[in-house]
Structure 1
Amino acid sequence: MAPQDDAREEAIRRLDERAAALGARTQRPAASHAGEQAVSQAYRIIAELLGGVLVGLAAGFIVDQVMNTTPWGLIGGVLLGFALSLWMARRTANRLMALAKQGSEPPQSVPFDDDEDS
């Protein structure tokens, strides 16, 4: 019965090797996680830009209805919402840039090359 056990062990070993190879092929690369985070942050900045304008639009409409200043509340609300959305997007971008600078290494210096082909 020893030859059957050896054949069974060999089959299990080959199966394990094939499973490991399949796992290595189907594993996601680590760089895709960074790309997903970048896309997520880009969508967040877009949402801040649109959200600020829409909130300003709604606030201006409410001011127009309450105070009966038909176009001016809406115009002021949109302008204030736009300014607020730009400020929020810039704050988020600055925070992301600071995080990126923390995680990056300083650039390598390039040696000076005196030899120029003239």
Structure 2
Amino acid sequence: MTSRRMTQPDEPRDEALRRLDQRADALEARTARATQEHGAKAASYGYRLIGVLIGGVFVGLGLGAAIDVIAKTAPWGMIAGVLLGFGVSIWMAVRSAQQMTAEAAREWGPVRDLPLDDEED
């Protein structure tokens, strides 16, 4: 019965270390979990919410201005339109944020708390 050795007797020590490093790198590549970058997705969520908020106000402003022109009630139509648009945009932003939170929880897993900061000012 022959025993199997890691290095051959005539193999230089540097070559054995190089092979060991390669094997360690290969093992690390197989076992390492891929880290996900969530920054771009989180930024897109923020931009979507800003778009909903600003869009609602501008749509309300436009509808209020149209009502002012038709009914000749300036500036009350625009004021009411902006307030109504702001209210609708807040409602839509909250609903969108709930959907985004559910989507993020499905994709990224449960929310983890940040570690406590022991330093006090």
Say whether the fold is shared (TM-score over 0.5).
yes
Q: Give the partner amino acid of 2:36.
A: A
1:31 paired with 2:28, answer no
- For residues 42 and 71 of structure 1, do their structure 2 counterparts lie closer, same or farther at Cα, with a shift above 3 Å needed? same
- How do residues 85-104 of structure 1 correspond to structure 2 at under 5 angstroms? 85-103=89-107, 104=109
1:65 corresponds, among 69, 79, 93, to 69
Residue 84 (structure 1) aligns with: 88
Report the RMSD for the aligned CA atoms in angstroms.
Answer: 2.4
The aligned amino acid for 2:73 is: T
CA distance in 2, matches of 1:91, 1:49: 12
What is the CA–CA distance in structure 1 between the aligned matches of 2:110 and 2:85, rounded to whole Å? 38
Higher helix share: 1
Q: What does the per-residue CA deviation read over 1:25-53, in whole Å, with 9 as the maximum and x for residues that have no partner?
A: xxxx7432x21111011000000000000
Query: Which stretches in structure 2 are left out of the alignment for 5+ residues?
Result: 1-33, 113-121
- How far the C-alpha of 1:105 sits from its partner, in A, is 4.3
SS of alignment partner, residue 31 of structure 1:
coil
TM-score under structure 2 length normalisation: 0.59
**1:106 and 1:45, CA in 2 relative to 1: closer, same or farther beyond 3 A?**
closer
